[in-house]
Every structure is written in structure tokens, then in C-alpha cells.
A and B are shown apart, each in its own frame.
Chain A
């Protein structure tokens, strides 16, 4: 009886076509062909219309710089996910709040000349102010929107996060207006510095240094300090963490604080790089950083950093490389298309991410 059943099941498996495998293989071949074709066309454009080698190098440097900013934001998603198994979709607004908060000081200091007189101190203070604002918003979010829902089905806090995101966007729009504002930068940061013989935008140098320091600091805190160990323990097993005497509620708040700090830093760096801010500025970088976190393997700290850099580079190199050759007008308008394409491909081919478990996580 049972033997018969096994035979039938085995036959069934042979007869059924591996549809999923076929579709995925066809898709990967298609994507590969499109990438190859686009790149080929771009690289074989007539000499006058082609990007020069130094242009590609600039794309790459810009990509790494914006990738570092994405990495900082992505860490906020990944840290919170690691401990609460929840995507904090309002994290983009935490980032926006930091940039916005520091804007008023940056603007005033530009007027008073402080920004140009003591640029290093001024930028440092702007970063600290942005961190404070972002941390405040992140902690309030946890306290008001997420904590009461702890233990609720996972869909509930997820929807709440989206609601909180809209709430924050509209609050900032209501309070400060819908217009885009220019974010001033110290005059010293105009132009380029030569790094290893390569001219690099000065702002990008600052971005890379600050982001690098923040990433190293975070890694050390998580790996070495008692707080970091408590965070990792709570992420792996909350019940046992509390059995060790760890105050899990406090660890969760700490996680939001750390995520907020990184988002605040990212806010200033982003505003300095692109020179403007608005109430809506958190949306695209937020989703992009979320994609970076998923690409790297959500929950993994190294994954968020790697994912951020990859997405940053693909966003800056990708459109030019793939689309210029087939004469798409203004390819850089399509950089978010690259992001979402990557998100879809990651979810299809490696849902656990590069450094993740390789398994799909249900959200």
C-alpha cells in the first residue's frame, strides 16, 4: 500500500515539468542578454558619443559614495529586522528627518558665515544635530507605533510602518512646506581633491570618510561591547536573551537608536552630495537602501554594507552602461528602475540575499 503510494509520487515528480526552473533560467538568460547587448552598444558608440574612461571612473566613485550612504540607511533596516523580524518602512523618513533638522542650522550658518569659516566643525555639528533628530524620531516610532503591537501578527506592524511613513512625510510637508530647498555646503567642499592621482569630488571624499568611520564604529560596537553582544543575542533568541538577564525592551530601543544615528549621518551626507532636501527625500533612498539590505541578506550587518555599495555602483554605472547605447533619453532618470529590477531579481533568484541564509523569509 505505502510502497504503491511512493511509486506514484515518484512518477508524478518525473512527469511534472520543472516550470519554475525553466522560467527562471529563461529569465536569467534574458536579463544576461539584455545587459550584454546594452553594454555592447554603449561601448561601441562612435568615439564622439562615447563616455571617456575618466567619465566611467567618475561614475564608479559617485556610485561608491552614494552606495556608502545607502549602506548606512540599509543598516537601520537590517538591525531592526534582525531583532523584530519587521521591516521598518518608516526608516526612510527617519533619514529625511535628520537631513531636515540639520538643514535649518546649515542654512543659518551659511548666512552667518560660520559654515565657511569653520567648515569641518560645522559639518561635524550638522551630523550630530541630524543624528539627534533622527534618533528622536526613531525612538518615538518604536515607542508609539511599534511597541504596542509587539506580539501582533507580522502584517500589523508592517502596515503600521507604512502608515507611520506617510504620517511623517505629511507632517514635515505640513510644517515646512512641499518645496525642495537647497542644502548649503561649505565653499571648501566645491571642486575636487586628488586622491592617489585621481580627482575626486571633495564632497564625496567627506562622504566616504564619514560613512567609513561610522561603519567601522558600528562593527566594533556590535562585535566587542556588551551592548553589541546583547543586541546579537536578542536578535538570535529573545527568550533566552531575557533568561541571561538582558533587558530585551531596552535592547530594542538601543537598536532603533543606533539605526537612527546612522540614518542621521546618512541624511547629512546625502544632502551634501545632492545639494537639496524635501519632505519626500526619504522615499527613494529608503526603498533603495531596503533593496540593498535585501540584496545583502536582510538581518546581516556585513550584507547591508555590501548590498549598499553594490546598489550604489549599479545605480550610477548601470543606466549609462545599459541604456546610452540604445539611445534611451536621459538614462539617469531610470536609476530607480535599476533598483527595483535588482530587488525583483534578488527575490526571484536568491531570496535570502548574498550573505543571507539562501532561504526566503516571509514578511
Chain B
């Protein structure tokens, strides 16, 4: 792994909201084809980490690198153009637009129309249920279907790194299983995925590696297997399951 260059890297990132410091010296490396998860409780800085990667928040110190190039400080759409897309928390589809329009918006910045059409076909093969709903308004779909559309929309950007913010949030347990099944499928496509999750058990069961964030600092970083067996982890995050 040492000789490869990470697709996405956070190097000594600090962020502040006003005077309040949120992230403190966060270092994350994600290599091509990996699935990495970021775990942590409420207010640990998980969402801020994603916002920093996407340029909604600018680090007060440190930098974010995409394919070895510094992207922190660039506007969000430039970072998206360079190959980062996200499945946002609570899916956040455009409810009054059709499912097809939602998917098309995922490819908003792409100009290679033929490749976009192919990717659309691939997404619909991945989620046959979505194909039946193409002309429907996205707001009328069930939670599980919406999650598929949100994933499809992010895939339509053909990203180098796919970010997922709490994919299991607000879904019934049955659906959580389903969602992680989908994530596993996406992983099977060879995509590089960075998942932020509270559901540590579930996330570690499908990830290669994991980072644990606590009050803005990375306190643990290891392979998923080691984290699952780590006594500290078992006590703090895996206990309740």
C-alpha cells in the first residue's frame, strides 16, 4: 500500500466554526478501490469532515488532497468536478423533480453524453426498482427507493471517491440491511467509498478500514477486522449491539 498514492487525503486538518474548534489534526488516507468508514458519536465532527472534503468548510490549518492535488479552498463545484460526489444524510433528493431528473442532475458537470447514458443504464441495472419509477416525482418514493436514487445520483457523477453521510440514518432496521447490501454492491463495482456512520457494527462489517473520531480527533485507525476486535471499540461503540 505504501507505494500507492491515496485518492483522497486529509493532512493535519484543523477546522473552526468561529472560535469553536471542531476538527483537530485529522489525518485520513483513502486508497483507490478501498472502502473506508469514519465512525464516531454525535458531534464528534463526522459531518464537518465531509463538509471539509467538499469545500463547504475551509480548514484553518492543514489541507485536503485529491489525487495528490490540494483541493481545500476550492469552491464545492470545482471539487465535485474533480471527482468527489456524496450521498447526503437523509438522502436529500429534489422531491418535486422526477427520478430521472434527479439522476441526470448527478451528472450535471459531465459533458461526455454517451458515457453518461451508459452510466445511467448501469445505475438502472444496479437498481431495477428505480427504473420502474423514472417518471415519478422523487418525493413520492419510499425511503428505501429514495436511498437507491440518492446512491444512483452520486454514482452518475462517475466519482473518484464516493462519500456517504450516515446512509443508515432514519431508516427502519430492515431497510438498513438493504442499504448496506447496496453499499456492498457498489463496492463490488470497484468504487472507492468513504462512509461516515454511527452504526459501527454494520459499517465495519463491510469496510476495509476504519477511523474513529472523538471530539474532533482521530483516536483509532485500523483495519475493520482489528477494530471489530478492539476491546476499546467494543466497549465504546459496539457494546449496544
Contacts and interface: CB of A to CB of B under 8 A. Distances in A.
Bound together? yes
Interface stretch (A107-115, A148-156, A228-236, A323-331): A228-236
Interface string A226-250: 1001101100110111111111000
Contacts of A229: 97, 101, 104-105
A241 B96 CA distance: 13
Interface string B23-46: 000000000000000000000000
A246 B76 CA distance: 9
B17 interface: no
A240 B88 contact: yes
B94 A243 contact: no
A236 B95 contact: yes
B105 A244 contact: yes
Interface of B: 54, 56, 76-77, 80-81, 85-86, 88, 92, 94-97, 101, 104-106, 108-109, 153, 157
Given A242-B76, A243-B76, A243-B80, A232 B86 contact: no
Given A236-B96, A243-B88, A244-B108, 11 more contacts: A226-B108, A233-B94, A236-B95, A237-B94, A239-B92, A240-B92, A241-B94, A243-B76, A244-B157, A245-B80, A247-B77
A247 B79 CA distance: 12
Interface in A210-263: 226, 229-230, 232-233, 236-237, 239-247
21 contacts: A226-B108, A229-B105, A230-B105, A232-B94, A236-B95, A236-B96, A236-B97, A237-B94, A239-B56, A240-B88, A241-B94, A242-B77, A243-B86, A244-B105, A244-B153, A245-B76, A245-B77, A245-B81, A245-B108, A245-B109, A245-B157
Task: Report, as a range, how many residues of chain A touch the other chain.
Answer: 10 to 19
Nearest to B150: A240
Contacts of B88: 240, 243
Contacts of B81: 245
A233 B76 contact: no
A232 B77 contact: no
Nearest to B92: A240
A310 B201 CA distance: 59
B94 A240 contact: yes
Nearest to B96: A236
Nearest to B109: A245
Contacts of A240: 88, 92, 94
Interface of A: 226, 229-230, 232-233, 236-237, 239-247
Given A243-B86, A244-B106, A245-B109, A233 B97 contact: yes
Contacts of A241: 94, 105
A233 B77 contact: no
Contacts of B54: 243
A56 B77 CA distance: 56
Nearest to A230: B108
A246 B108 CA distance: 7
Nearest to B87: A243
Q: Indicate the member of A233, A240, A244, A247 with the most B CB atoms within 10 Å.
A: A244
A321 B194 CA distance: 67
A237 B97 CA distance: 11
A233 B105 contact: yes
Contacts of B109: 244-245
Contacts of B92: 237, 239-240
A232 B108 contact: no
A239 B57 CA distance: 13
A85 B90 CA distance: 23
Nearest to A242: B76
B96 A244 contact: no
A229 B105 CA distance: 8
B96 A246 contact: no
A239 B86 CA distance: 12
A230 to B, nearest CB: 7
A241 B106 CA distance: 9
B110 to A, nearest CB: 9
